[in-house]
Amino acid sequence: MRLTDGVETLKSVGEARLTSFNRLGISTISDLLEFFPRDYLDRGKISPIAELGHGQMATILVSRVGNAQFRQFGNKNVTRIYFSDDTGQIGISWFNQPYLKQVFAERDKYYISGRVSWGVAGITLENPDWEKAGADNLSAGRIVPVYKLTAGMTQKVLRGLIRQALDATSGQIADFLPQDILQAHGLCHRGFAVENIHFPACGEDFYTARKRLVFEELFLLQAALLTAKGHLKQKITPTDMFENMDINPILQALPYELTGDQSKVINEILADISSGYALNRLLQGDVGSGKTAVAMVLCYLAGVNRFQSAVMAPTETLATQHYHAFSEIFGKLGVKCALLSGSMKAKEKREVKARLSNGEIDVIIGTHALLQENVEFARLGLVITDEQHRFGVRQRAALNSKGRAPHILVMTATPIPRSLAMVLYGDMDISAIRQMPPGRQPIDTYSVTKAYHQRLFAFIKKEVEEGRQAYIICPLIQKDEDEDESGAQNKQEITQVIKFAEELKTGDFADISVGILHGRMKPAEKNAIMSAFANNEIQVLVSTTVVEVGINVPNATIMMIENAERFGLSQLHQLRGRVGRGQHKSYCILVTDAKSKVTKQRMEAMTKTGDGFVLSEMDLELRGPGEFFGTMQHGLPRLLLANLYKDMEVLAAAREAVINMREVSHIPLKNKIDKLLTKVKGVAL
Which residues in this chain contact ligand ADP in the complex, by CB under 6 A?
Answer: 256-259, 262, 285, 287-293, 413, 437
CB of 413 to ligand ADP, least distance (A): 6
CA–CA separation, 139 vs 372, rounded Å? Answer: 59
CB of 314 to ligand ADP, least distance (A): 12
CA–CA separation, 497 vs 95, rounded Å? Answer: 50
CB of 284 to ligand ADP, least distance (A): 10
Of 259 and 388, nearer to ligand ADP (C-beta) is 259
CB of 468 to ligand ADP, least distance (A): 17
Task: Please name the residue ranges forming H helices in 331-392.
Answer: 346-357
Query: How many CA atoms, within 13 angstroms, populate the side-chain half-sphere of residue 218?
Result: 28
CB of 322 to ligand ADP, least distance (A): 9
CB of 450 to ligand ADP, least distance (A): 31
CB of 159 to ligand ADP, least distance (A): 54
Q: Are 578 and 443 in contact (CB under 8 A)?
A: no
Return left, alpha or beta for 441; rule: phi > 0 is left, psi -120 to 50 is alpha, else beta. Answer: beta
3 state DSSP class of 63: strand
CB of 408 to ligand ADP, least distance (A): 17
- How many CB atoms within 10 Å of residue 157? 15
DSSP state of 328: H
Of 291 and 526, nearer to ligand ADP (C-beta) is 291
Of 287 and 632, nearer to ligand ADP (C-beta) is 287
CA–CA separation, 520 vs 228, rounded Å? Answer: 36
Of 112 and 287, nearer to ligand ADP (C-beta) is 287
End-to-end CA distance of the chain: 41
Of 113 and 388, nearer to ligand ADP (C-beta) is 388
CB of 438 to ligand ADP, least distance (A): 6
- Percent helix, strand, coil in the chain, to 5, is 40, 20, 40
CA–CA separation, 246 vs 241, rounded Å? Answer: 14
CA–CA separation, 392 vs 390, rounded Å? Answer: 6
Of 286 and 508, nearer to ligand ADP (C-beta) is 286
Element (H, E) at 3: none
- Return the sign of the alpha-carbon dihedral for residues 222, 225, 230, 232: negative
Of 229 and 291, nearer to ligand ADP (C-beta) is 291
Of 169 and 259, nearer to ligand ADP (C-beta) is 259
Q: Are 419 and 262 in contact (CB under 8 A)?
A: no
Q: Are 290 and 363 in contact (CB under 8 A)?
A: no
Element (H, E) at 269: helix 260-273
Element (H, E) at 66: strand 57-73
CB of 318 to ligand ADP, least distance (A): 9
Of 92 and 433, nearer to ligand ADP (C-beta) is 433
Q: Which residues contact 621 (CB under 8 A, 6 or more apart)?
A: 645
Of 258 and 664, nearer to ligand ADP (C-beta) is 258
CB of 311 to ligand ADP, least distance (A): 12
- Return the sign of the alpha-carbon dihedral for residues 569, 570, 571, 575: positive
Length of the chain: 685
Beta bridge partners of 280: 408
CA–CA separation, 681 vs 677, rounded Å? Answer: 6
Of 291 and 518, nearer to ligand ADP (C-beta) is 291
3 state DSSP class of 304: helix
CB of 292 to ligand ADP, least distance (A): 3
Element (H, E) at 161: helix 155-168
Of 582 and 637, nearer to ligand ADP (C-beta) is 582
SS (H, E, C) 390-452: CCEHHHHHHHHCCCCCCEEEEEECCCCCHHHHHHHCCCCEEEEECCCCCCCCCCEEEEECHHH
Of 413 and 618, nearer to ligand ADP (C-beta) is 413
Of 227 and 320, nearer to ligand ADP (C-beta) is 320
CB of 269 to ligand ADP, least distance (A): 15
CB of 571 to ligand ADP, least distance (A): 16
CA–CA separation, 438 vs 394, rounded Å? Answer: 40
- Which amino acid is located at 152 in the chain? G
